């Protein structure tokens, strides 16, 4: 046999081993990829759950209940100053102990008719029916 034949044969063997090796590592990397994809899906699902939870916790009726319990309320219309950028408005503000209301707030009702807010079921199957409209508790206070 010629020398070059040996060299070619060696090349062939090396190539064959390399193919097997690459195939194997490709599969391993693919498995990793799948695992990361699954993890990504799980994180996306978590994000959704958290978004739902945040939306439930930030629902206006819950915010109002919390505000009510903390004895917060919107200043009545008599003590609200609508401000322009005129100096007289500012002067009026400075000599009065009036509250500045910020647009975007939910005005908390001063009377006591409030439906009970729903609690977030944290992904737990919502099979319990919600309590009926609750009025008595608030009126008692």
Partner 1 sequence: MNYKGNASLNLRLEGWRASFVLILLLAAFMVLVGRAVFLQGLHADFLQHKGEERYSRVIEQTAYRGEVLDRNGDPLAISLPAVSVWASRDDADMNPGQLQQLSTLLEMPKEEINHRVNEGRGNFVYLKRQLSQEVAQKVSEIHIPGLFEQKGFRRSYPKGEMMAHLLGFTDVEDRGQEGAEVTFQKELGGLNGARRVIKDRAGSVIEDVENIREPRPGHDVVLSVDSRVQYLAWRELHAAITRNKAKAGAVMVLDPRTGEVLALANYPDYNPNARERVTLTQLRNRAVADTYEPGSTLKPFTIAAALEAHKVTPATIIQTGNGTMNIGPAVVHDTHPGGALTVSQVIQRSSNVGAARIALSLPPETMWNLFTDVGFGQTPKMGMPGEAGGRVRPYRSWRPIEQATMSYGHGISVSLAQLARSYTIFANEGNVMPLTLLKQDGPVSGRRVISSQTASAVKDMLELVVKPEGTAPLAQVRGFRVAGKTGTAHKLDHGRYSNRYVASFVGFAPASNPRLLIAVMIDEPSTGDYYGGLVAAPVFSGLMAGALHILGIQPDDPASENYASPTSVNSAAEET
Binding residues (CB under 8 A) for partner 1: these are: 27, 30-31, 34, 45, 48-49, 51-53, 55-56, 58-61, 64, 74, 77-86, 88-89, 92, 100-107, 109, 111, 113-115, 117-118, 120-130, 133, 135
> Which tokens belong to 23?
């195939």
In the complex with partner 1, the residue whose CB is nearer, 127 or 141, is 127
In the complex with partner 1, the residue whose CB is nearer, 14 or 80, is 80
CB of 68 to partner 1, least distance (A): 12
Cα separation, 50 vs 123, whole angstroms? 10
Distances in Å between the Cα of 30 and the Cα atoms of 15, 16, 38 are 22, 21, 12
Vertex 81 angle, CA 80 and 84, to 5°: 150
């Amino acid at each position: 046999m010629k020398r070059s034949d040996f060299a070619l044969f060696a090349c062939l063997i090396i190539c064959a081993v390399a193919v097997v090796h690459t195939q194997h590592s490709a599969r391993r990397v693919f498995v990793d990829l799948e695992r990361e994809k699954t993890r990504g899906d799980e994180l996306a699902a978590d994000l959704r759950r958290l978004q739902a939870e945040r939306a439930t916790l930030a629902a206006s009726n819950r915010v109002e209940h919390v505000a009510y319990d903390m004895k917060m309320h919107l200043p009545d219309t008599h003590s609200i100053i609508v401000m322009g950028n005129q100096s007289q408005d500012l002067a009026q503000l400075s000599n009065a102990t009036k509250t500045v209301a910020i647009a975007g707030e939910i005005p908390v009702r001063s009377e006591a008719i409030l439906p009970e807010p729903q609690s977030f079921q944290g992904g737990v199957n919502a099979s319990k029916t919600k309590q009926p409209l609750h009025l008595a508790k608030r009126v008692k206070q």
